[in-house]
Amino acid sequence: MSLFDDDLPKKKTAHEIGSDLSLLSVDELTARIALLTEEIARLEAERERKSASRSAADKLFR
């Protein structure tokens, strides 16, 4: 371990759609799946929030 390990570039933790997966380990693939699963849940929650807001607005203006 070097004193300058902090200077080394960090591994990219985000997932890029369409990127080459063949170089990733099983642990890295598992981490990416977890990351994407969390992002899907976040997107679905936002969609539900916006859908509820729109529905309330539609009821108000009918």
Q: How far, in Å, CA of 34 to CA of 29, rounded?
A: 9
In the chain, what are the domain boundaries?
24-62
Q: What is the pLDDT of residue 53?
A: 84
Count of all residues that appear for the chain in the document:
62
Expressed in angstroms, the distance from the first to the final Cα of the chain is: 67
Assessment of whether the complete model's pTM goes beyond 0.85:
no
Task: Flag residues of the chain having pLDDT under 50.
Answer: none
